[in-house]
Structure 1
Amino acid sequence: MSPTATAENTVLASIRKHTGSENPSAFLAMSRGTGAFTVPGLDGFIAHRRTGRYLVQLGGPFAAPDDYIPLLDRFVAHAHEQDLTVVGAQLQRADAEIYARRGFTVNQFGASWVVHLPEFTLRGTRFMRMRNKISRAHRAGLQIKEASAQELTEAIRHIDDAWLRSKGEEARPLEFLVGELGGPAQEHRRLFVGTIDSKPVGYISYSPVYGSRAGWMHDLSRRIPDDTPGLMEAINAHVIEVLRGEGAEWLHFGFTPFTGLAQDNELPGHSPAFQWLMHFLWAEGAALYPAQTQLAYKDKWAPQAPIPEYVAFDGPASLPAFAHIFRACNAF
C-alpha cells in the first residue's frame, strides 16, 4: 500500500534526519508501491515491498539511533509471524555490521558512486572524448532545460516507450531500487530534458540526497534511441553546472549491483559462495542486469572511491531470497 500524505511526510522527515539519511538512495523509499513499516512509540520506519514469501527491504531502518534495533527486531518478528522471510538490499556499511550482529548473513552486493562537485572539471585529457560527444550533441541542436514532469507527460511517455522497445521484447521498466517520475514525491525531484528541434529526445531525473554527502542523485534517465551521440552526457554536464552554481556539494550516481567488489568490504560470517556469485554476475550477468554498461557511464565522470552496499539474508544466503530482490524491482 502506498503511504497516505501524512505517512509520506513522516517518511520524508525520517529520511532527512535519521541514520538512514547516509544512504544515498534513501529517497527511493518515497516511491509509490513501497511500504513503510512503523511501530507506535518508535521513531522511524522500514521501507519494503512484499514479493512471494519475502519482505524485501530497501536500506536499513530509517530510525533514531535508540529505536534502530528495536524497529528492526519488530520488523523481523512481523515477517516471521506471517511466515515470511526478510531480505535487505542496499544496506550501508553501518547497517551491514548491525545486521550481521543480529544473525543475518551479510555480503557485499555492489557499490554506489559519487562525484564531489566543487573540485569537478571536464578539462583535461581524461574527458576529451566526452567533451567531443557533448559538442556533437549541441551541434545537432540539443537544448536543455529544467521542466516539470506534469508539463511533459506525453513527451516522457513517448521517450519511455521508445527506450523500452529498444531494450527488447522481454524488457520491463525497473522499480523499487530505481527512481520514478510522478506521484506525491515528485515535487522534491528535479527533471532536466533535452530537445532537438523542439522535440524532447531524452531526460534525467534527480532525487535529493541527505546526510553528510547531501546533494542530488542522478536517477532515472532515458533517451530516444538514435545516432546522436552525447545526449545524456550533455544533459548531465549542464546539470552539474546548475548544481555547482547553487552550491551543491555532491552528485551521486546511485547503486550498481556487482560493482566495486572487494575482499576488504566483506564482513565476518559472509557467504563465500554468494561472494563468488557476485563476481560471476559482474562478469557474466548482463542478462540479469547490465552492470558493466551502467558502470562504464558512471566511470566517465571520475567518481570518488566506491561506497560499498550490502545484501542481508535472514539466515543463510539464499538464491530464492536474492531473486526476490529483482522480483521486487520488476526485473522479471
Structure 2
Amino acid sequence: MSTTSATTLDSPVLRAITTHTQSENPSSFLALNTGNSVFNLPGVDGVAVYRRTGRYLVQFGGPFAAPGDYGNLLSGLRQYARDEQLHLLSVQLQRPDAEQYREAGFTVNQIGASWAVHLPEFTLRGTRFMQLRNKISRALRNGLTIEELPADEWEEALHTIDSAWLGSKGDHARPLEFLVGQVGGPAQGHRRLFVGSIDGSPVSYISYSPVYGSRSGWMHDLSRRIPGGSPGLMEAINAAAIEKFVTEGVEWLHFGFTPFTGLSEDDELPGSSPSFQWLMHFLWAEGAALYPAQSQLDYKQKWAPHAVLPEYVAFDGPASIAAFAHIFRACNAF
C-alpha cells in the first residue's frame, strides 16, 4: 500500500482515469487536481483519490481501477482509513460505483446530478433558445471577443479575473477546491481555455476538462468573470466553444456535478438513509447559503441537456451530517 500526490502528469492517476472508464464519471479529470492524495496497492491495477480533512478521509469518485481490482482497491482504502482511525466517505460516485459500495456495506444516497448535452443533436435555433441567443448577441454587441488561449501565457489576467470574482462573493468567500477544476499546474496541457475580452482586456473565461468513456468529450468546468460587466459573457463563451467542438466532431459537452439537483426517488438504492434523502431535498429548497444549486442548475438548463446522470455519496457506516460537512471542508468551503 502507498499514498502519493496526484499532481504529476505522468502519475498513475492519468493512466487510470483514461483506461478504467467503466463507471462513466464525467468529472474524473478532477482526480488530477493539485492537493489530492492517491492510494494504491501493489499488484492492483488502479488508484483511489482522496483528501484528508480532520478525522475524515474524503474520497473523490470510486476507485479508478480495472474491474477485477475494483473491490480489492476499495477494501484496501477502507482498511487504510480504519488503520489511520479515519472515517471514510466517498463523493461523486456514479451509479455503477454506488451499486458496488452498497454491496460492500456502505450507506449510499443520491447527492445530486451532473448534466450533459449531446452536441450532434444541439442547436440554438428555435423559440426555446430565444432568450439565450439574445444574451449572447448582447455580449457580442458590447464588444466581446472570444479566443481559445494557452493558460500559461495569461496567468496575470486570469488571476485578476479570479480576484475580482471572489471579491464579489463577500469578505469571507473562499475559492472552492477538490470537486471543481483548476487552471494551471501539471495537468493544464490536457485542458482547454476560452477567454472573453472587451477592448483587449480579458473579462471572463471558461476552462474545459476532458471527459473519457462512452460519453467522451469536454466538461464545462471552472468559469469566472469580472463582476458587473456585460450580460451574457459566459453564454457567449460557451456558445463559441460549442461551435468549435462541433467542428471537431466532439460528441458530448458535460456541465459537471451540481449537488442537491436532479434528486429522484427512483435513483435511490435500497438501504439509503431516508433522513439524508430529506436533507438533500431541504438543501435544494433552502440551502442557497451553503451552495447556490438552483442558480447553477438554471444556467445548465439553458442549454437543454440531453442526459441527467445521478451522483451519489457513500458512508462507511450510517449517513451523518458531520461526515457530510467534511465534504465541504475538503472543498475549502469553510
SS at match of 2:174: coil
Report the more deviating stretch, 252-261 or 303-312. Answer: 303-312
The secondary structure found in structure 1 opposite 2:295 is helix
CA deviations over 1:146-194 (Å, ceiling 9, x no partner): 1111111110010000000111111111000000011100000000000
Measure how far apart 1:214 and its partner are: 0.2
**Partner in structure 2 of residue 5 of structure 1:** 8
Q: Secondary structure at the match of 2:11?
A: helix
Matched, 1:66 2:71: no
Task: Report the RMSD for the aligned CA atoms in angstroms.
Answer: 1.0
Alpha-carbon distance in 2 for matches of 1:19, 1:29: 13
* CA shift for structure 1 position 4: 6.0
Residue 174 of structure 2 aligns with which residue?
172
**In the alignment, structure 1 residue 268 sits paired with structure 2 residue 276:** no
1:237 maps to 2:239: yes
Quick one: distance in 2 between partners of 1:77 and 1:21? 22
Aligned with 2:220: secondary structure?
strand
What's the CA shift for 1:19? 3.8
Alignment of 1:111-150 (within 5 A): 111-150=113-152
| Aligned residue number for residue 35 of structure 2 | 33
Shift of residue 140 of structure 1?
A: 0.6
Aligned to 2:180, what secondary structure does the other structure show? Answer: coil
Give the conservation status (yes or no) of the 8 Å contact 1:20–1:59. Answer: no
C-alpha distance in 1, partners of 2:186/2:22? 21
8 A contact 1:15–1:21 mirrored in 2:
no
1:54 and 2:53 matched: no
Whether the 8 Å contact between 1:206 and 1:220 is mirrored in structure 2 is yes
**Partner letter of residue 187 of structure 2?**
A
Aligned to 2:46: 44
- Within the candidate set 291, 297, 309, 1:307 is matched to 309
Matched residues in 1 for 2:308 and 2:197: separation? 33
The alignment-based identity, stated in percent, is: 69
* SS of equivalent to 2:5: coil
The offset of 1:17, in angstroms, is 1.1
Specify the SS of the correspondent of 2:215: coil
After superposition, the C-alpha distances for 1:228-255 in whole angstroms (9 at most, x for unaligned) are 1110000000000000100000000000
**Secondary structure in 2 matching 1:306:** strand
Q: Which residue of 1 aligns with 2:162?
A: 160
CA distance in structure 1 between the aligned counterparts of 2:37 and 2:199, rounded to whole angstroms: 42
Runs (4+) off by over 6 Å: none
Unmatched runs of 5 consecutive residues or more in structure 2: none
- Report the CA distance shift for 1:113/1:15 in structure 2 as closer, same or farther (over 3 A): same
Name the SS of the counterpart of 1:130 in structure 2: helix
The letter of the residue matching 1:14 is A
Q: Does 1:286 align with 2:291?
A: no
Instruction: Tell me the SS of whatever aligns to 1:48.
Output: strand
User: How far 1:21 moved relative to its partner?
Assistant: 5.8
- CA contact under 8 A between 1:108 and 1:311: conserved in structure 2? yes
Match of 1:94 in 2: 96
SS in 1 for 2:117: strand
CA distance in 2, matches of 1:68, 1:277: 30
Q: How high is the TM-score relative to the length of structure 2?
A: 0.97
**Mean Cα deviation higher: 45-54 or 9-18:** 9-18
Given the alignment, which residue of 322, 328, 331 partners 1:329? 331
Per-residue deviation, 1:36: 1.1
Q: Distance in 2 between matches of 1:240 and 1:4?
A: 29
What residue number does 1:253 align with?
255
CA shift for structure 1 position 3: 3.3
* Aligned match for 2:230, one of 206, 228, 235: 228
Letter in 1 for 2:196: G
Equivalent residue pairs, number: 331
Residue 299 of structure 2 aligns with an amino acid whose one-letter code is Y
User: Is the Cα contact below 8 Å between 1:21 and 1:210 reproduced in 2?
Assistant: no
Structure-2 separation of matches of 1:64 and 1:231: 41
The one-letter code matched in structure 2 to 1:104 is F
